[in-house]
Structure 1
C-alpha cells in the first residue's frame, strides 16, 4: 500500500485527510468591503456616502451582504445537512438566529440611548423624531414590547432582523435542496414573486408599515447564494456562456447609466407595461427584479473575470480578510458607531469636514477592533492546540523493577 501523504504542522505530522483546506479569503474580503460600505451609508450626509456602490447601480451593499451570507451558510451548513444530522443542523441555525436577535437588541437599545442622550445633553429635541424613535417614546408600554418582538424597527437597524429570519428558513432551504437544487430555487422564487405581487411582509406594530427589508423577498437572493455554492461543492459548475457574460456586462452598464444619469423617469415607461412593481420597480423592501438582477450580474462578472478574482484573493492576515472574518462583531460595532455619527452630524448641522473625519475614524476603529478579535482568536487556537498536544504527550514513569513504562498524560 502506498504511503499516505503527510504535512508537517509544528512538531506533528498529520495525514493529508486530517488537514483542513485553506480558507478561501475572497468571501471574507467581499464581506469586509460590504461591511465598510454599509457603515458609510449609515452615516448619511457626509462626502464618502456619494462614492459608495449605491450611486452607481440599482443594488447596494445590503444585497451583496445577503448574497455573501447565503454563500457562507451553504459552506457552513450544506455538507452537514445529512440524514441523522438534520435536527442538529436545524438547531445550529436556530441558535444562530437567536444570536442575531441578541445582536439586534444591542444595536437597537444603544441607538435609543445615543439619540436620547444627544437630545438631552445638546438640547436638540429634534433628534427624538429621527429614524422612527418617536413612535417608541410616545408610548413606552407598547413601544418597548414592540422592539423586543421585532414589531418595530428603528431606522438603520433593520438588517439583522431580516437576516435572523433567513437563518430560521435555512433548514427548509436545505431540505428542499436535498430533494433537488431546482426545487429549492423554484419554491424560493415562487415565494419571492407572491410576496412581491401581493405585498406580503411582516407588519410593524406601532406604525402602519412593513418591515423595511422583507425576509420573504430577500430569502430568494439568500437561497441563490446557498444553492449555488452547494452545487459547486458537489462538483457542479455555474452557468458559463459568452452571451451570459455580455448580458451581465450590458445590464451593469445600463444600471450605471440609469443611476448616474438620474433616468428614473424611465421607470414610468416600465410601469406602463402593466406588470407588477416587483418586476419593474426599484423597491428595496420587496427586492424588486431590477435590483436582484443587478447584484447577480455583478456577481457573475466577479466570478468570470480572472483579474477580479485575483484582486479579491488576499492573504489571511490582510485587513479586509480579518474584518470580514469577524463580520457579526464588526457589523454590531459599525452600527453603533454609525448611530453615534448620525447624532454628531445632527448636532453639528451636518458639517462636511466633521462627517468625513468621523467616517475615517470609525473605519479605523473597526479595523482595530477586528485585529483585536483576530488576536484573541489566534491566542485561543494556539492555547487549544497546546492543550491538545499536552494531552497526548507520552510520559515515562519508572516502575519498581527499574524499567520504564510509557503512559499518556491525560
Structure 2
C-alpha cells in the first residue's frame, strides 16, 4: 500500500473481450483496501452480532477507522500532492475546501437520517427507550439548542462521528501541502507536535450539550492522515519504502504482541511509568501511540510483501474496486444501513443470529449499491462513436 506506486498496467492485464484491463491512471490497491475498511466499519457499526467478533479490532490495538484515515491520507497525496504548485494553489485549495464542505453536509445528512430512523423505530415499535440510545437523548431534551449544536458540530450521535473529523482534516489539507512543499520533515514534526499537544493538554473540540468532546479528535487524527500524505508524496517522487529485515521483524513482532494483548485481555498491565496516556494508553479519541504504531506496522507489512500488492491489484470492475472508488456514497449508505440494523437488533432483543443475517445482507447491498453507482457513472460519460 505504501510502496512505490506503478501507474502502468501489469504485463498480464492486456484488454480482452472477457477481461477488462486495469486502468493505467488508477491504482486499484487503495480502492481494495478502502473497500475492506468500509465493509469492516459497517460490520462494527452493528454491534451485538457474530460477524463483529471477526473484525480486526478483536486482534489488535487499532481498527478499521485508523486504516481508513491512513488510506485517505495516501489518496489525498495521490490526488492533490503534485498539483499543489505555484499558480494553482488557490484553485486547488478551493477544490479541497469544497470537498470538506461536501463531507460536512454528508455528516449532517446522515445524522438527521439517523435521528429519523431511531425516532421512527420508537414510534412504530412503541419503544421510547430507543431515544436514549447513541446520544440522542440530549437532542430531545434540548431540542432548540440541540439542532444548533448539531449544525455547528457541537453534538455528535454515536457511530456518526467519522465524517466530521474527516471534514476538519480536509480543511487543513492545503496548509499540509504548502508545508510539505517547504519541507516534508517540517510537516511531519509540526503534525506530530499538534498530535502530542492535543493528547497531553486535551485539546479537542467540545460538545455543547454536555461536558464531553468529540469521539474522534481531528487535532490527533490529522497526524495519521499527514503520515499517509507524506508517504504517498515520497512514493511518487521515486523513493522506495525501506525494506529492512529489522523493520519487518519489529513490525511483525508488534502486530503479534498487539494480537495477544487484545485476545488475552492484558488491559490490567500497567507500563505507563508516569508518561502521558497519549504515549502509553489505548485511547481512540486522541489516537494513542499504541494504536498509531499498530496501524503503521500493519501497513508496512502489507507494503513490503509483494504478495499483498498482487492480491490487491484487481480488475477495474471488481466489486471491491467499485466500493473503494465510490467510497463516500457507499460509506453514507453503510452508515444509514447500520442505523437500521441497530434499531432492528434493539427491538428484537439483540438476537445475534438475526443481527448476523442482517449484516450479511447489508454487505451484499454494499456491492449492489456500488455496482449501481458505477452504472450511473457510465451513463453520464460521453459515449464514443463506433466506426
- TM-score bracket, normalised by the shorter chain, equals over 0.9
Instruction: Quote the residue 2:53 is aligned against.
Output: 50
2:38 aligned residue = 35
Aligned length, in residue pairs: 367
Match status 1:205 vs 2:204: no
- CA deviation vs aligned residue, 1:216-244 (integer Å, no higher than 9, x gap): 00000000001110111011222331111
Equivalent position to 2:84, from 77, 81, 84: 81
CA RMSD of aligned residues (A): 1.5
- Paired position in structure 2 for 1:360: 360
Q: Secondary structure at the match of 1:79?
A: helix
> Partner residue of 1:222?
225
Q: Unaligned 5+ residue runs, structure 2?
A: 1-14, 16-22
C-alpha displacement at 1:103, in angstroms?
Answer: 0.7
Runs of at least 5 residues in structure 1 that lack an aligned partner in the other structure: 1-9, 11-19, 394-410
Render the CA deviation track for 1:35-84: whole Å, top value 9, x for unaligned. 00000000000000010000000000000000000000001110110001
Provide, for residues 286-338 of structure 1, a one-character-per-residue CA deviation record: whole Å limited to 9, x for no partner.
00000000000000000011111111111111111111100000000000000
> Shift of residue 382 of structure 1?
3.9
TM-score normalised by structure 1 residue count: 0.88
- Equivalences for 1:86-235 in 2 at 5 Å? 86-235=89-238
Provide the residue aligned with 2:19 in structure 1: none
Return the offset for 1:120.
Answer: 1.1
Q: What SS does structure 1 have at the residue aligned with 2:381?
A: helix
How far, CA to CA, are the matches of 1:83 and 1:382 in structure 2?
Answer: 32
Secondary structure of the 2:268 match is helix
Match of 2:369 in 1: 369
Distance 1:256 1:371 in 2: 35
Name the structure 2 match of 1:321. Answer: 321
Q: Which has the larger radius of gyration?
A: 1
Q: Which residue of 1 aligns with 2:281?
A: 281
Q: Quote the Cα distance in structure 2 between the aligned partners of 1:317 and 1:382.
A: 18
Cα offset, 1:186, TM superposition: 0.8
Structure of higher RCO (CA pairs closer than 8 Å, 6+ residues apart): 2
Residue 363 (structure 1) shift: 1.0
Paired with 2:212 and 2:125, the residues of 1 have a C-alpha distance of 31
* 3-state SS of 1:265 partner: coil
Secondary structure of the residue that 1:311 maps to in structure 2? Answer: helix
Partner of 1:308: 308
Higher strand share: 1
